[in-house]
Amino acid sequence: MLDNLEKIEKKFDELTMKLGDPEVLRDPKVLAVLAREQSQMRPLVEKIHEYRGTLQSIDDAKEMRSDVTDAETSEFLDLEIQTLSQQRDELEESVKELLITSDPNDAKDVIIEIRAAAGGDEAALFAGVLLRMYTKFSEESGWKVETMSSSPFDIGGFKDVSIEVKGEGAYSRLKYESGTHRVQRVPVTESSGRIHTSAATVAVLPAAEEVELELDLNEVRVDIFRSGGPGGQSVNTTDSAIRLTHVPTGLVVSCQDERSQLQNKERAFRILRARLYDLAISQQQAEMARTRKMQVGTGDRSGRIRTYNYPQGRVTDHRIGLTVHKLDAVLEGNLSELVEGLSAADRAEKLALVTDGEPSEQ
């Protein structure tokens, strides 16, 4: 455990040094990002220093105790060691708690990408349902929602849609939503009343600042084309749509919602930056999570995470085995019970890893 604490202290010291660098002080954007990161780390580092100080005090008291021969002083030092040991145990628990709750991305804005998967028309309609659910949840949480890009479907819903959610704690509450969402219901186009199963995928990406991710523009191919709407309908008569291709990874981002080429390009780069940042985080988490069983917080998008069953009015999250019989409320954005259940499970898993001597490094 101490080795991991030393790494955290070293990182904090490096941040402090950077904040005193004249070049950083001349760049408000870089300064703001580094200052925020240092501020987020400070409570943990201060608790680590207190924990280390107590360990040293115990060692000092034990050394004094070994040199003392009179009964009165020995009794005093024994009591001192007992008191300090109790403080050590309490501080250790506090450090563990801060380790598992200290995610540098929690305060970030997020980009949510929703894509229709298996199920054809019904999957596209379900993607629209999920969009409305997350929009409602975000607005009720006091966050601002902005559509980044979308591909509307002819009969309603979306082939894919991306939104940006801006607000304090957005990522901390939405990060568990990444994965495949399955719906079971009777489609409006089904005359026989048969229940169909379809799916949509959700990706929740922490928004990345420019200073957090170096993006080589020489590695990005920019294509400009004319926007189009559902059914091929022309949206405008200028070449304003933007397609970005990140050559090293093959990631492709398209934006055509705005009439301004500049606005579409800006949004496309924000999405691309978030995807690349998320890719780096996912690779780090995959390495750290090799021994995990649940992987609640890793956002594995290859697996089914939740089922929305319309006939029975229930929603089941398969990662934690939680079922709520409040389908209508959930689809209206009441996700608190699910979010809190996932958060508790993730915390319990990380605490188990910390207790086993493998502190969770976000």
Domain boundaries, the chain: 2-102, 105-207+319-362, 212-288
What's the mean per-residue pLDDT of the chain?
83
3-state SS, residue 280? helix
The Cα 110–Cα 44 span in angstroms is: 24
Q: What pLDDT does residue 107 have?
A: 79
pLDDT digit string, tens, across residues 43-88: 889 999 999 999 999 999 999 988 888 888 899 999 999 999 999 9
Report the DSSP beta bridge partners of residue 161: 114, 150
Model confidence, pTM:
0.69
- 239-259: average pLDDT: 85
- 242-263: average pLDDT: 86
pLDDT digit string, tens, across residues 171-224: 989 999 999 999 999 886 666 678 889 999 999 988 876 656 677 888 889 888
The Cα 226–Cα 206 span in angstroms is: 29
Distance of alpha carbon 269 from its chain centroid, rounded? Answer: 19
Q: What pLDDT does residue 237 have?
A: 53
Q: What pLDDT does residue 356 have?
A: 57
Percent of the chain with pLDDT over 70: 84
Higher-pLDDT residue of 106, 318: 318
- Decide the pairing of beta strands 196-206 and 110-116: antiparallel
pLDDT exceeds 70 at position 236: no
CATH hierarchy code of domain 212-288: 3.30.160.20
Own/partner long-range contacts of 1-10 (Cβ < 8 Å, ≥24 apart): 1/354, 1/357, 1/359, 4/99, 4/359, 4/361, 5/48, 5/51, 5/52, 5/95, 5/359, 7/361, 8/41, 8/44, 8/45, 8/48, 9/45, 9/48, 9/49
Q: What pLDDT does residue 300 have?
A: 46
Q: What pLDDT does residue 298 have?
A: 44
pLDDT exceeds 60 at position 244: yes
Residue 109 tokens read as 């804005």
- 121-133: average pLDDT: 94
pLDDT exceeds 80 at position 3: no
- 270-285: average pLDDT: 80
For the 2-102 domain, the top CATH level (class) is: mainly alpha
Lowest mean pLDDT among 73-77, 232-236, 322-326: 232-236
Per-residue pLDDT band for 296 (boundaries 50, 70, 90) equals very low
CATH hierarchy code of domain 105-207+319-362: 3.30.70.1660
Lowest mean pLDDT among 175-184, 266-275, 291-300, 319-328: 291-300
Q: What pLDDT does residue 215 have?
A: 78
Q: What pLDDT does residue 98 have?
A: 82
Q: What pLDDT does residue 182 have?
A: 94
- By C-alpha distance, which of 281, 279, 258 is closest to 268? 258
